[in-house]
Chain A
Amino acid sequence: MPEEILTVEHLSVDYVLDRGNVRAVDDVSFGLNHGEFLAIVGESGCGKSTLLFAVAQLLASPAETAAGTVTFKGRNLVGLTDKELAAVRWRDMSVVMQSAMNALNPVKSIGAQFKDALQAHGTRSKEEIRTRSAEVLRMVGIDPLHLESYPHQLSGGMRQRSMIAMALLFTPDLIIMDEPTSALDVVAQRSLMLQIKELQQGLGFAVIFVTHDMSLVSHFSDRLMVMYAGQIDELGATRPIFYKPTHPYTKGLLEAFPSIRGPRKPLQGIAGSPPDLGKLPSGCRFHPRCPAAVDRCAEEVPGLFPVDDLLVRCLRVADGSLASE
């Protein structure tokens, strides 16, 4: 049994607003093993990015960690000072942001940005900086010539890849990725996913990958976490969830989009939109949109029940009245 590199326990994040606190992440617990690929999926506004930021301790006001712990390599990150965190960031854990367009500095060459990160963590020798920068760029399949290039001279796929190269500078144990492929077209998307998977298998780092497109991670992640309204709705091994989705929300997400195969059939998607986290519905948070909801769902708050090898937050799945398909 591989040991856990990251353990998140009862993590809650609040946005402190004038109209009262809004809980964006509510009592989330999960563990991540060495070299494991965990995908987090859900709609916009379900708290997946906030959860990532809380794990990386990048939350900025008005968001703050309200409760819980994030134990990374045996050390609780919650409450560490910026200086203590700086030693961990890049070196042991790095973050790849959603839009490489905005995350890279447009007025500095790629090489200069790599140099910044390396120097901040104590690499001083010019020679070392040059060889390491070229090395990571080659790892993601970009010619090291492009160290001289500015972000605008690269295509979207190359920019995203150089962000990943930057995250690899110190060969960290954990890389957190927030929708790294959402700005890319399908061909570039798949080639980037293959690249990430290859690097992960070669270098052995763990990945937390956030996306709203479930089908994207279907072949790449080991475990899948489905989030809704700040909570975990379903958590388990990826492939079984795709073959046999259990939670009605997971089913909805899987059926929300057309396929290029099979018969052409009309789809409805999931009716409505995620709830305002300041005005949560009673009972199960998904019940106003749930096609399988019964009266009970509006009254009783469901816990996270173990069903087979899964964790599922659904009363009807737990009592056996709703079978998985």
Chain B
Amino acid sequence: MSELLEVSSLTKHFKIGNTLSRRTLHAVDDVSFSIGEREIVALAGESGSGKSTIARLLARIYEPTAGTITFDGQDVARMRSRRDQLRYASAVPMVFQDPFASINPVFRVSHGILRSLKLHRTDLSAEDRRAEAARIFEVVGLKPDMLERFPYELSGGQRQRVGFAQALAMKPRLILADEPVSMLDVSIRIGLLNLMAKLRDEEGVSILYITHDIASARYVADRLIVMYAGQIAEAGPIENVLSTPKHPYTQLLLSAVPDPKAPLQEVTDRGEPPKVVDPAPGCRFRWRCPIAIDTCSQVTPVAAELLPGHEVACHVAQTGADVKAFVS
């Protein structure tokens, strides 16, 4: 199967500190995954696990320290000409977390959409652009007359739909959606999730859905990638990962999802993800892991396929042991 996007050994380090104490923050370390056509892949993890850095690397806001991104068979780093860069930017747009800060407040909401249509779809006349903008608004579930509104006249959910409309205007292949619903009320999130599923099913767009909310990921995504401290902990078809989570961290994440119908779990974990500054080898979850063994503090675990399509980076799970670190 040919993949739309392939990421291989992607790494991003940031230099921090001054000249006397130069240190390196490992935001993303040796991450490999792929996204297929018409596929929603959820990237989940705690704040600071490197999810957003991956989105920014894919959007070419950051240059990777190492590793390659291949889009549609082409190495993204080799796209140097303005034409290639524009084409990539229009094929892989981004939708941001905060719908209140990501739309220019002094222009009508049509402004952003018409501008990207003008820049990326030069074959359309001014009249066609208007018609196309109205069509896109209907696709994302807004009335075409809302094009003339200002952002402050719209609710948070409507603004986020405008965000998706702006992305959709460029006829994208892959939308990078960075926590698109986390700022919205619980009661309107579902509408946006349904919209994402509709874009995949009807417009044939793939989506990288970045979230810390596993339940919403399960609702729309086909595959799940769980990140911890800049590395992939576990990845696979979402139902498999959720029904048989193999990595202790995935189990912790699942146990933390509030469930009103189930009794409250006794969980003692109060840890926070580490800041990965000049890390020594070893598993980065070992300080919070109740089942860590000696190997975990010496060797960095590498993801291995334990079940078809289901990869886990955990020494204990790779011995074939049945991991039950946190009950969910």
- A185 contacts B187, C-beta separation under 8 Å: no
- Given the interface contacts A186-B253, A257-B190, does A216 sit within 8 Å of B258 by beta carbon? yes
Contact pick for A267, options B48, B219, B254, B256, CB 8 Å: B219
**Of A23-31, A119-127, A163-171, A187-195, which stretch is located at the interface?**
A187-195
- B186 contacts A257, C-beta separation under 8 Å: yes
Per-residue contact bits, chain A 169-199, to B (CB 8 Å; 1 contact, 0 not)? 0000000000000001111111100110000
A-facing residues in B208-250 (Cβ within 8 Å)? 212-216, 218-219, 239, 242
Chain B residues lying within 8 Å of A213, measured Cβ to Cβ, are 186, 258
- Nearest-neighbor residue (CB-CB) of B192 within chain A: A269
Taking the complex as formed, is B34 at the interface, i.e. its CB lies under 8 A from any CB of chain A?
no
**Of B10-18, B62-70, B267-275, which stretch is located at the interface?**
B267-275
- B212 contacts A186, C-beta separation under 8 Å: yes
Chain A residues lying within 8 Å of B194, measured Cβ to Cβ, are 266-268
Taking the complex as formed, is B260 at the interface, i.e. its CB lies under 8 A from any CB of chain A?
yes
- A187 contacts B269, C-beta separation under 8 Å: yes
- Given the interface contacts A43-B185, A212-B185, A254-B260, does A185 sit within 8 Å of B46 by beta carbon? yes
Q: Report the bound CA distance from A270 to B185 in whole Å.
A: 11
- B215 contacts A269, C-beta separation under 8 Å: no
A-facing residues in B268-284 (Cβ within 8 Å)? 269-270, 272
- Given the interface contacts A188-B46, A256-B187, A257-B186, does A219 sit within 8 Å of B258 by beta carbon? yes
- B185 contacts A44, C-beta separation under 8 Å: yes
Chain B residues lying within 8 Å of A187, measured Cβ to Cβ, are 46, 252-253, 256, 269
- B259 contacts A258, C-beta separation under 8 Å: no
- Given the interface contacts A187-B253, A190-B256, A264-B219, does A212 sit within 8 Å of B47 by beta carbon? no
Chain B residues lying within 8 Å of A267, measured Cβ to Cβ, are 190, 194, 219
- Nearest-neighbor residue (CB-CB) of B252 within chain A: A187
Q: Report the bound CA distance from A318 to B21 in whole Å.
A: 70
- B157 contacts A273, C-beta separation under 8 Å: yes
Taking the complex as formed, is B290 at the interface, i.e. its CB lies under 8 A from any CB of chain A?
no
Taking the complex as formed, is A275 at the interface, i.e. its CB lies under 8 A from any CB of chain B?
no
- A257 contacts B189, C-beta separation under 8 Å: yes
Given A185-B212, A187-B256, A256-B187, 7 additional A-B pairs, CB 8 A: A43-B185, A186-B256, A190-B256, A218-B258, A260-B242, A267-B190, A269-B187
Please provide the 6 A-B residue pairs with the shortest distance between their CB atoms, ordered closest to farther: A218-B260, A269-B190, A185-B212, A258-B219, A219-B264, A215-B258
> Would you list 6 pairs from A and B whose C-beta atoms are within 8 A, ordered by A residue?
A184-B47, A185-B46, A186-B253, A213-B186, A261-B262, A273-B157
| Chain B residues with a Cβ under 8 A of chain A | 46-48, 155-157, 185-191, 193-194, 212-216, 218-219, 239, 242, 252-254, 256-264, 267, 269-270, 272, 328
